[in-house]
Amino acid sequence: MARNEVDSLMRRLQTDKFVMFHTMENPTAPYLVPRSLLAGQSDYFDTRMQNNQWMFTFKGDQAEIWKTYLHWLVEKKLREDIFAIDGTPDLESAAACYALGEQYGLKAFQDEVMLYILHWADSCDSRGEWLVADGVLVAFQHTSGGSKLRHLLVEEAVHEQGSNGLPFGMGMDTEEVLKLEDLGFFPLFINKWAHGDCPDESRFGDKCEAEYSWKNYMVGPAEKYEAARLKQAKEAEEET
């Protein structure tokens, strides 16, 4: 870190204010987040902080998801424990995190979660390991109609249907079918099935069709992730 960056950081540490986060889990002992860390994360928070709002209270059952977001914000990495159960990818938790990002405009967080899910689609031997009806239901219950996560999951379901005769790794009960129908899953599925809308190659690979490139699933600028991927590839090459 250059000297001027150090000086800037020290000044910030001297003057920074804290934002308080209350959830159902910590109603009397808020999580304290430096304002400078939260600034620029979303219009939702920026607008309120500009109006001198320093306390945020989030009710409902999202406490664990907010903890996951705050951990990512501070540590710059996603929690491994919430994205997998006994080593198996947990789409329910990932979809809930993505939905929180969409709800509050936390684009960088959304993209990190999306990259995680894209890697599942790439690396799992079977979509049945992670593409489960419960997780798809969470995604469709809590995201908007044009959500990139919805489109990704339906594309994966189309691929699974073509390979194994079922759209998900686990069967659906009648209640789940009815809920997904009400939430618009099946019209999107039928449309993509009719047009064969699912990639044959890795979304990260050079052979992937442009419309299915991982970049198209980002809601923020893909350039920063592209730079990071090139750096990782270069480091891996140097190690070998």
- 90 and 132 Cβ atoms separated by less than 8 Å: no
User: Which of 9-18, 200-209, 226-235 shows the lowest per-residue confidence on average (mean pLDDT)?
Assistant: 226-235
> Does the predicted TM-score (pTM) go above 0.85?
no
pLDDT (tens digit, 9 = 90+) per residue, 51-79?
999 999 988 778 889 999 999 998 888 88
Distance between CA atoms of residues 101 and 210, nearest Å? 25
The yes-or-no verdict on residue 239 having pLDDT over 60 is no
pLDDT (tens digit, 9 = 90+) per residue, 13-45?
666 789 999 988 888 888 999 988 999 999 999
Average pLDDT of 146-167? 83
Distance between CA atoms of residues 65 and 235, nearest Å? 32
Distances (CA, A) of 91 to 19, 40, 119, 188, 213: 30, 28, 12, 19, 21
Q: What is the pLDDT of residue 209?
A: 85
Distance between CA atoms of residues 150 and 160, nearest Å? 15
Q: What is the pLDDT of residue 153?
A: 93
Q: How many Cβ atoms sit within 10 Å of the Cβ of residue 125? A: 6
